[in-house]
Amino acid sequence: MQTAPVGFDWSYGCSRPRRDSFGGGWCAIFADHVEFASTQEELARRLVRSAVTPPMEPPDPWIDYPHYPSADWQTEVANGDTRLGYLDWVLARTEADRSVPPSMEVPSA
């Protein structure tokens, strides 16, 4: 039996205006690992990534992405493990794997 992940977020504040006196974070608990970060860390990470990489082209919904073959998606759909469409499934997998976004991958011909 698979256990669904659990997540929560938090915030903190200060009654005085001080640098970094407000913030928060998030935590995601999976069956095999835990991920967490503060909002300040995540914001810094996103700002650096956006400054370094140019804006992405929207992913092509008609390409079978090599790291996420449509056969794997079809199996998950048939087993009732996902209700996502193929492109949304690829994007979710990419985010979960923290890999290169699908539009940056070179699909096989």
Q: What pLDDT, in 10s, does the model give residues 23-69?
A: 888 899 988 889 888 888 888 877 876 666 666 676 677 788 888 89
* DSSP letter string, 21-44: -SEEEEEEE-SS-EEEEEHHHHHH
Q: What pLDDT, in 10s, does the model give residues 61-95?
A: 778 888 889 999 999 999 999 888 888 888 888 88
Domain that holds residue 78: 56-97
Q: Does the pLDDT at position 99 exceed 60?
A: no
13 and 33: one domain? Answer: yes
Asked if the structure places residue 108 within a domain, the reply is no
41 and 60: one domain? Answer: no
50 and 62: one domain? Answer: no
User: What Cα–Cα distance (Å) separates residue 2 from each residue in 24, 29, 31, 52?
Assistant: 29, 13, 8, 38
84 and 41: one domain? Answer: no
Asked if the structure places residue 41 within a domain, the reply is yes
More confident residue, 91 or 19: 91
Asked if the structure places residue 107 within a domain, the reply is no
Asked if the structure places residue 42 within a domain, the reply is yes
Helix (H, G, I), strand (E, B) or coil at 9: strand
pTM for the predicted model, two decimal places: 0.40
